[in-house]
C-alpha cells in the first residue's frame, strides 16, 4: 500500500535545481518516480564533490532507491541505455530502474522532425519530444512494452513512501504555460497521478524556484534586450546558467514575484524552496519585480525577508526555505 506521495516540481521555466532537492530528500522514500517529459530534462547532482548528470533516470538512483519512469514519459531507448551504462560504470545499482510498459518511444523520425521544424522557432531542445507526444495522441505511437527487455519493464506497483520528481515546470506546462513556447507534457504536479495513484495520496507539493528567473529557448517574457544588461550577464556566468541538455546560454531576468505567486497558487504548492541565493550574494545586486515595478534591496537578507512576507501574505504556503547552489540543503521538516 502507498503510505503517502510527495511531489517535487518546478515553479518557473525549468532549471530551478529540482534534481539537487530531490537528491537531498530521496533517502527518506521507497520510490522516486518521473511522470513527464523525457531526455529534454537535465538533472545535475553533486555527490562527494563529483558532478553527475541524468536526463531520463530519476535522481533516486544515487540513493539506491527504486526508480520509475512513468506512463506519461517519453523515452529515447539509445539514450536510456547510455545513461544506464554511465550510472553502472559510476557504481550505482541500475537494476532499480524500471520503465512503464505504456511509456512512449522517441524515434529517429521524431528527432528529425523536431530539429528541422520546431527547434529554431520554438526553441525546443531538439530531442523529439513534441512529435513523440503527437503520435501518442494520434494513437499510433510505439510503447516501451513493444521493444524493452522485460527486466526493465515496471509491474505498475508502488508501495510505502513515494517521491515524484517533475521535469520542466509550471510555465512550460502544455495547458498553463505560455503556449506555444511550452513543452508537450503535464508538468503541473497533478500530472504525477498518471503514475497510478489517487490525488488523495499526495501529502506535500514541494515547489522549487530560483531567486532570479531564467528561460532556455524562446519566450516573449524574456526579450533579447536582456543580453545587454551587465548584471544579468554576471548572473549567467557565476550561476552557470547554460542548458544541461543543449549547452545553450539561458536568458536571465530579475525574479517576477507576481508570476511566482501565481504558479504557487495554481499548482497548490505547500513547501517552497527558493534556490541559488548564493549566486545573487556573489553578484552583490538584489532586485526583483513586484506589481510590475523593479524593487532593489541593500542585502540578500532584506530581499529574502521581503519574499518571505509577501509570499506568506498572498498564498497558502506552509513552509519557505532559501537555498544555495551546490551545497545540499536537506529540508528536514519536509521529509519525515
Cα–Cα distance measured from residue 2 to residue 197, given in angstroms and rounded to the nearest whole number: 8
Q: Which is nearer to ligand IMP, 12 or 315 (CB)?
A: 12
Q: Please identify, using beta-carbon distances, which residue of 19 and 60 lies nearer to ligand IMP.
A: 19
* Residue whose C-beta lies closest to ligand IMP: 14
Smallest gap, in angstroms, from Cβ of residue 11 to ligand IMP? 13
State whether the Cα torsion 128-215-61-31 is positive or negative: negative
Phi, psi of 67 (to 5 degrees): -120, 125
Using the minimum distance from each CB to ligand IMP, give the nearer residue, 76 or 304.
76
Please state the closest distance from residue 151 (CB atom) to ligand IMP, in A: 28
Catalytic residues: 15, 43
CA distance 224 to 222: 7
Q: Could you tell me which of 134, 142, 139, 2 has the C-alpha nearest to residue 68? A: 2
Find the Cα–Cα–Cα–Cα dihedral 290, 296, 299, 303, rounded to 10°. Answer: 0
Bridge partner list, 4: 161
Interacting residue ranges for ligand IMP, rule: CB under 6 A: 14-15, 40-42, 123-125, 127, 129-130, 167-168, 172, 181, 183-184, 216-217
CB 167, min distance to ligand IMP, A: 6
Cβ closest to ligand IMP, residue 72 vs residue 217:
217
- Kindly list the distances between the CA atom of residue 309 and the CA atoms of 20, 302, 312, in Å, as whole numbers in the listed order: 26, 11, 5
Amino acid at each position: 500500500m502507498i503510505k503517502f506521495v510527495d511531489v517535487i516540481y518546478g515553479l518557473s521555466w525549468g532549471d530551478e535545481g529540482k534534481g539537487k532537492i530531490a537528491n537531498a530528500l530521496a533517502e527518506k522514500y521507497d520510490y522516486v518516480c518521473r511522470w513527464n517529459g523525457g531526455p529534454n530534462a537535465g538533472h545535475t547532482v553533486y555527490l562527494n564533490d563529483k558532478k553527475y548528470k541524468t536526463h531520463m533516470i530519476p535522481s533516486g538512483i544515487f540513493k539506491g532507491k527504486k526508480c520509475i519512469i512513468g506512463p506519461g514519459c517519453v523515452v529515447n531507448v539509445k539514450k536510456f541505455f547510455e545513461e544506464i551504462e554511465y550510472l553502472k560504470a559510476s557504481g550505482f545499482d541500475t537494476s532499480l530502474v524500471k520503465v512503464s510498459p505504456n511509456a512512449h518511444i522517441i524515434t529517429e523520425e521524431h528527432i528529425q522532425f523536431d530539429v528541422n521544424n520546431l527547434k529554431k522557432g520554438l526553441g525546443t531542445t531538439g530531442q523529439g519530444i513534441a512529435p513523440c507526444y503527437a503520435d501518442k495522441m494520434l494513437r499510433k505511437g510505439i510503447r516501451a512494452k513493444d521493444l524493452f527487455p522485460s527486466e526493465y519493464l515496471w509491474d505498475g506497483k508502488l508501495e510505502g513512501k513515494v517521491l515524484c520528481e517533475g521535469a520542466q515546470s509550471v510555465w512550460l506546462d502544455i495547458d498553463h504555460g505560455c503556449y506555444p513556447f511550452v513543452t508537450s507534457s503535464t508538468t503541473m504536479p497533478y500530472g504525477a497521478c498518471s503514475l497510478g495513484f489517487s490525488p488523495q495520496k499526495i501529502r506535500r507539493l514541494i515547489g522549487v524556484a530560483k531567486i532570479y528567473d531564467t528561460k532556455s529557448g524562446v519566450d516573449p517574457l524574456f526579450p533579447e534586450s536582456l543580453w545587454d544588461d551587465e548584471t544579468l550577464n554576471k548572473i549567467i556566468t557565476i550561476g552557470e546558467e547554460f542548458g544541461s541538455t543543449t549547452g545553450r546560454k539561458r536568458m536571465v531576468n530579475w525574479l517576477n514575484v507576481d508570476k511566482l505567486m501565481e504558479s504557487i497558487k495554481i499548482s497548490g504548492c505547500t513547501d517552497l524552496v527558493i534556490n541559488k541565493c548564493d549566486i545573487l550574494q556573489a553578484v552583490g545586486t538584489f532586485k526583483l519585480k513586484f506589481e510590475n515595478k523593479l524593487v532593489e534591496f541593500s542585502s540578500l537578507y532584506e530581499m529574502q525577508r521581503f519574499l518571505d512576507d509577501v509570499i506568506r501574505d498572498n498564498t497558502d504556503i506552509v513552509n519557505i526555505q532559501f537555498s544555495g547552489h551546490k551545497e545540499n540543503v536537506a529540508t528536514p521538516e519536509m521529509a519525515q
